[in-house]
C-alpha cells in the first residue's frame, strides 16, 4: 500500500495533504485499468476521521463515475464509503473522488481520508491517506471608487457586532473578518481574510459603498506586494486637490499646502471655507483627486 502516490500499471492516483477554505472542493482523479483479458470488478472504499470544534458540521464526499454518488460525513456519522464498478478487458475507467469542505467549519478543523482501491479477485490492491485542513481564504469585495477605506472601517465594525450577537448562542463564535487590506493603489476593491466568505458577504450587505463580492479566492502571492509598507505621503504633491475621508472635516475638498514626510502628515486648506483654514491631518485621512 502506498501512502502518497500510486502509479502502477493498473492504477494511477495521487493524494497529498491539502488546505482548503470553507465550502471549497478538492478533486482527486483516479484511473483504473483492467490489464487482464476478461472483465473484472473493482472496489473503492474511503474511511474518514475528523478533528473539529463542532461535531455536527458536515463534510461532503462524492464519487464521480458514470453516475455520481454523494455521501455526507461528520464525526458522528463516519460511515465507510464504498463503490464497485466493472472494467472491461484491457480497458480503463476514470473516476473522480471529490471532497467538499463544510461551510461552518472552524480554522484548524481537519478530516483525514484513507482510500483503498482493490480488485474483487484480490490480485490488485493499493491506497493512500491524506488530510484536508480548513484554513482562511482571501476574498475581494467590490466598492464604489473612493469608498474603499470607509467600507473597510464599516465592515470591521459590522463584523464585531455580528460576533457579539453570535456569542450569545455560540460560545465558540469568532470574528468572521480576520484581516482587511485596502491598498491605496487599488481602486474599487478591498481584500478580506476570512474562514467563511458567504458570511462576510452577508455582513457587508447594507454597508454604504459595498457593491458585492468577487467570485473565487485571491492567492496571497497576487497581493503580497501591497503588504510592503510605503510612506503614507508617497505620491502626494504640494498644490494637489484632495478629499478628506476621515475626521471632523470628512467629505470636504482641500488643497495640500504642506507635507511632513517624517510625521506622515499633510496640512491642507479647505477650498470651500469662507476663511482659509489650514488643517493638519494624517496622510491616510485624505484621498487625492484626479483634477488639479
Contact assessment for residue 35 and residue 86, using Cβ atoms and an 8 Å cutoff: no
DSSP β-ladder status, 40-51 and 59-64: unpaired
Question: What pLDDT does 1 receive?
Answer: 37
Q: Which CATH number fits domain 137-224: 3.40.50.20, 3.50.50.60, 3.30.70.940, 3.40.50.300?
A: 3.30.70.940
On whether the pTM is more than 0.75, the answer is: no
Question: What pLDDT does 31 receive?
Answer: 96
Residue tagged 464604489 (cell numbers): 144
Tell me: the pLDDT tens digits for 158-202? 999 999 999 998 888 899 999 999 987 899 999 999 999 999 999
| Residue environment code for 36-59, b if the CB has 16+ CB neighbours within 10 A, otherwise e | eeeebebebebbbebebeeeebbb
Contact assessment for residue 128 and residue 145, using Cβ atoms and an 8 Å cutoff: no
The reply to whether 137-224 shares the fold of 5-134 is no
CATH class of 241-288: mainly beta
Q: Is domain 5-134 classified as CATH 1.10.10.60? A: no
Question: What pLDDT does 51 receive?
Answer: 96
Tell me: the pLDDT tens digits for 7-23? 578 999 999 999 999 99
Residue tagged 486648506 (cell numbers): 269
Distance between CA atoms of 261 and 248, rounded to whole angstroms? 23
3-state helix/strand/coil string of the chain = CCCCEEECCCEEEECCCEEECCCCEEEEEEEEECCCCCCEEEEEEEEEEEECCCCCCCEEEEEECCCEEEEEEECCECCCEEEEEEECCCCEEEEEEEEECCCCCCCCCEEEEEEEEEECCCCCEEEEEEEEEECCEEEEEEECCCCHHHHHHHHHHHHHHHHHHHHCCCCCCCCCCCEEECCCCCCCEEEEEECCHHHHHHHHCCCCCEEEECCCCECHHHHHHHHCCCCCCCCCCCCCEEEECCCCCCCCEEEEEEEECCCCEEEEEECCCCCCCEEEEEHHHEEECCCC
The C-alpha cell that represents 53 in the structure block: 470544534
| Domain assignments of the chain as residue spans, ordered by start | 5-134, 137-224, 241-288
Tell me: the pLDDT tens digits for 239-255? 999 999 988 888 899 99
Residue 4 has pLDDT above 60, yes or no: no
What band does 291 get if pLDDT is binned at 50, 70 and 90? low
Pick the closest to residue 178 from 198, 161, 200 (CA basis).
200
What band does 77 get if pLDDT is binned at 50, 70 and 90? confident
Amino acid at each position: 500500500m502506498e501512502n502518497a502516490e500510486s502509479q502502477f500499471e493498473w492504477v494511477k492516483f495521487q493524494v497529498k495533504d491539502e488546505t482548503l477554505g470553507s465550502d471549497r472542493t478538492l478533486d482527486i482523479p483516479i484511473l483504473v485499468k483492467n490489464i487482464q483479458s476478461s472483465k473484472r470488478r473493482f472496489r473503492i472504499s474511503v474511511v474518514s476521521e475528523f478533528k473539529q470544534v463542532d461535531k455536527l458540521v458536515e463534510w461532503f464526499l462524492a464519487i464521480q463515475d458514470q453516475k455520481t454518488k454523494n455521501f455526507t460525513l461528520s464525526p458522528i456519522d463516519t460511515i465507510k464509503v464504498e463503490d464497485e464498478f466493472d472494467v472491461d478487458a484491457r480497458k480503463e475507467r476514470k473516476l473522480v473522488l471529490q471532497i467538499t469542505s463544510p461551510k461552518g467549519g472552524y480554522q484548524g478543523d481537519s478530516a483525514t481520508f484513507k482510500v483503498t482501491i482493490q480488485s474483487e479477485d484480490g490480485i490488485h490492491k493499493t491506497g493512500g491517506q491524506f488530510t484536508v485542513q480548513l484554513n482562511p481564504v482571501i476574498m475581494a469585495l467590490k466598492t464604489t471608487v473612493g469608498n474603499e477605506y470607509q467600507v473597510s472601517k464599516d465592515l470591521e465594525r459590522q463584523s464585531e457586532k455580528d460576533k457579539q450577537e453570535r456569542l450569545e448562542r455560540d460560545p465558540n463564535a469568532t470574528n468572521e473578518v480576520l484581516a482587511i487590506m485596502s491598498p491605496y493603489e487599488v481602486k474599487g476593491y478591498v481584500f478580506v481574510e476570512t474562514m467563511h466568505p458567504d458570511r462576510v458577504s452577508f455582513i457587508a450587505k447594507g454597508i454604504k459603498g459595498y457593491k458585492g463580492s468577487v467570485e473565487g479566492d485571491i492567492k496571497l502571492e497576487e497581493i503580497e506586494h501591497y503588504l510592503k509598507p510605503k510612506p503614507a505621503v508617497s505620491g502626494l504633491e504640494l498644490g494637489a486637490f484632495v478629499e478628506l475621508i476621515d475626521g471632523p472635516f470628512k467629505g470636504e475638498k482641500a488643497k495640500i499646502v504642506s507635507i511632513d514626510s517624517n510625521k506622515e502628515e499633510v496640512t491642507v486648506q479647505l477650498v470651500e471655507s469662507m476663511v482659509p483654514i489650514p488643517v493638519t491631518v494624517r496622510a491616510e485621512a485624505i484621498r487625492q483627486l484626479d483634477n488639479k
